[in-house]
Amino acid sequence: MEQKKISYLRNRPLHSKYRPNNFSNVLGQEHLVSYFKRSILNKKIAFSYLFVGKHGVGKTTMSRIVAKALNCSSMHKYKLNEPCNECLSCLNVDLGQSFDVHEINAAMNTGIDNIRELIEKTHLSPVNSLYKVCIIDEIHMLSLNAFNALLKILEEPPKNVLFILITTNIKKIPGTIVSRSQKLCFLPISSKDLAISVSKIVWLEKGSITNKALLHILDSSEGSFRDAINIIDMLLTQNSKINQSACSFLLTDMPNSIPHLLLQHLLSKNIIRIVHIINYVEERQWSETNLIKHMKKILKEKIVDGSTHLTTNKYLVFIWQILLKYDSEFFLQERLSLFISELILLFSRTDSFSSINSINNKKTIPHVLKIQAVQIY
Ligand SMILES: [Zn+2]
């Protein structure tokens, strides 16, 4: 029996194995931890919270801890500021078996029937708890009808029911839902917090990691704890000693020289070279998002540095503005091609850079770029 338990623990993904189970262990969200501790102590609980933030920064984890804290008998009895993780209520939430905590993922349950089913559960009084807690992850994926059904209950909330709505994209949520919820923003995890946490987990897993490899992982995970831990999980499966070459091989990252080279050719307006680099990036299926992110970083440094000629600087600002435009979810497909095509239009103008708006005028794209997206002009 004991052997089976050990085997199960070994097979658990690291992000699940090291998921924080109380407020103190939540990484990088101190402002929200103190907010919830005070709210629970003063019994000032809203009817609906909207957790907003990028993936892997602790939103779902926090929702479960809040659910445990609200219903933990020991916490209220002994006036603790953390859920005990030992009472029946806490254990049931951890095991996903609580009758009073309901969690659905809207990405897989988008319809009105899913929300109706959830709302029906709120009409029954809590079984062994003070609150019924409904956690809806990825809420921006709900259909319009499902949102309307949810809105009805948010307008007339039953007593002792709490909704925790979680999203990575608040722009896709109707304003009526947002305005009826307390919006709480989760921050990306700082590099320092992430570095300490990742190093500790590698040590607990009896591995080692070099500083360069650690920096590489922090850069790739962009403030997401889950992303960083998933990378560590993958690397430790291969070798307990993590170094930079292991990272580069497994993450299939593009070399740092690529964004520098692309920028160099953009400045010299060498279209053939630019197209070669874009093809090279696409053939290797390197992330367009990463390329755009690195170029933004380099450009910002160059502009702030101020050592370039004024005309070059203006051109850098133009490129940066166009990069910002394509660094959004709206342009998931062909964003690199769109970005480049817009720059080619910029090349075809004079060097006076009189107005950025004029780059949206209809222009003929050089034949060398067979870019479908050019039709939008
Ligand atoms: Zn408890």
Q: Ligand 1 centroid vs 54 CA: distance in angstroms?
A: 29
Q: Ligand 1 centroid vs 42 CA: distance in angstroms?
A: 18
User: How many whole angstroms separate alpha carbon 236 and alpha carbon 37?
Assistant: 36
Q: Ligand 1 centroid vs 69 CA: distance in angstroms?
A: 7
Helix-helix angle 59-71:88-95, to 10 degrees = 150
Domain boundaries, the chain: 2-185, 191-251, 257-376
Indicate the Cα dihedral angle 231, 192, 59, 32, nearest 10°.
170
Q: Ligand 1 centroid vs 3 CA: distance in angstroms?
A: 28
User: How many whole angstroms separate alpha carbon 344 and alpha carbon 322?
Assistant: 12
User: How many whole angstroms separate alpha carbon 179 and alpha carbon 365?
Assistant: 45
Question: Could you tell me the CA-to-CA distances from 69 to 39, 41, 126, 128 in Å, in that order?
Answer: 11, 10, 15, 14
**What local confidence, expressed as pLDDT, does residue 360 receive?**
38
Q: Ligand 1 centroid vs 161 CA: distance in angstroms?
A: 19
Q: Ligand 1 centroid vs 72 CA: distance in angstroms?
A: 4
**What local confidence, expressed as pLDDT, does residue 376 receive?**
26
Distance of CA 148 to the CA centre of its chain: 26
Distance of CA 187 to the CA centre of its chain: 10
User: 276-282 long-range CB contacts below 8 Å, 24 or more apart?
Assistant: 278/336, 278/337, 278/340, 281/254, 281/336, 282/336
In terms of Cα–Cα distance, which of 108, 101, 64 is closest to 85? 64
Q: Tell me: the pLDDT tens digits for 86-145? A: 999 999 999 988 989 999 999 888 888 888 988 888 888 777 778 999 999 999 999 999
User: How many whole angstroms separate alpha carbon 122 and alpha carbon 205?
Assistant: 41
Signed CA dihedral, 207, 252, 296, 324: sign only? negative
Q: Ligand 1 centroid vs 71 CA: distance in angstroms?
A: 7
Tokens in use for 101? 């905590």
The three-class DSSP label of residue 185 is strand
> Is residue 341 a contact partner of residue 365, using CB atoms and an 8 Å limit?
yes
What residues have their beta carbon closer than 5 A to ion ligand 1?
72, 74, 83-84, 87, 90
> Is residue 74 a contact partner of residue 86, using CB atoms and an 8 Å limit?
yes
Q: Ligand 1 centroid vs 187 CA: distance in angstroms?
A: 27
Tokens in use for 222? 């962009």
**What local confidence, expressed as pLDDT, does residue 268 receive?**
79
Maximal CA-CA distance, the chain: 76
Q: Ligand 1 centroid vs 86 CA: distance in angstroms?
A: 5
Q: Ligand 1 centroid vs 103 CA: distance in angstroms?
A: 19
Q: For the structural domain made of 2-185, what CATH number should be given?
A: 3.40.50.300
Q: Ligand 1 centroid vs 2 CA: distance in angstroms?
A: 25
Distance of CA 280 to the CA centre of its chain: 28
Q: Ligand 1 centroid vs 301 CA: distance in angstroms?
A: 50
Q: Ligand 1 centroid vs 137 CA: distance in angstroms?
A: 23
Across the chain, which has 377 residues, the per-10-residue mean pLDDT values are: 46 86 94 94 92 94 96 83 92 90 88 88 80 94 92 88 94 93 95 94 94 87 89 86 76 73 81 81 76 80 69 73 67 64 67 39 36 29
**What local confidence, expressed as pLDDT, does residue 311 receive?**
63
Q: Ligand 1 centroid vs 66 CA: distance in angstroms?
A: 11
The three-class DSSP label of residue 96 is coil
**What local confidence, expressed as pLDDT, does residue 372 receive?**
32
**What local confidence, expressed as pLDDT, does residue 308 receive?**
63
Tokens in use for 127? 């079984």
DSSP 173: S
Q: Ligand 1 centroid vs 77 CA: distance in angstroms?
A: 10
Q: Ligand 1 centroid vs 61 CA: distance in angstroms?
A: 16
Q: Ligand 1 centroid vs 323 CA: distance in angstroms?
A: 49
Q: Ligand 1 centroid vs 70 CA: distance in angstroms?
A: 9
| 191-251 CATH fold | Helicase, Ruva Protein; domain 3 (1.10.8)
**What local confidence, expressed as pLDDT, does residue 24 receive?**
93
Q: Ligand 1 centroid vs 168 CA: distance in angstroms?
A: 29
Q: Ligand 1 centroid vs 26 CA: distance in angstroms?
A: 17
Tokens in use for 91? 């254990």
User: How many whole angstroms separate alpha carbon 150 and alpha carbon 129?
Assistant: 23
Q: Ligand 1 centroid vs 102 CA: distance in angstroms?
A: 17
Q: Ligand 1 centroid vs 87 CA: distance in angstroms?
A: 4
Share of the chain above pLDDT 70, in %: 81
Q: Ligand 1 centroid vs 84 CA: distance in angstroms?
A: 4
334: which residues sit within 8 A by CB, 6+ positions away? 371, 372, 373
User: How many whole angstroms separate alpha carbon 53 and alpha carbon 189?
Assistant: 11
**Global pTM value:** 0.71
The three-class DSSP label of residue 163 is strand
| Alpha-helical regions (H) of the chain | 2-11, 14-17, 30-41, 59-71, 73-77, 88-95, 112-122, 144-155, 175-179, 191-204, 211-221, 225-238, 244-251, 257-267, 271-283, 288-305, 310-326, 335-348
**What local confidence, expressed as pLDDT, does residue 250 receive?**
56
171: which residues sit within 8 A by CB, 6+ positions away? 140
Q: Ligand 1 centroid vs 362 CA: distance in angstroms?
A: 65
Q: Ligand 1 centroid vs 89 CA: distance in angstroms?
A: 6
**What local confidence, expressed as pLDDT, does residue 366 receive?**
37
Q: Ligand 1 centroid vs 68 CA: distance in angstroms?
A: 7
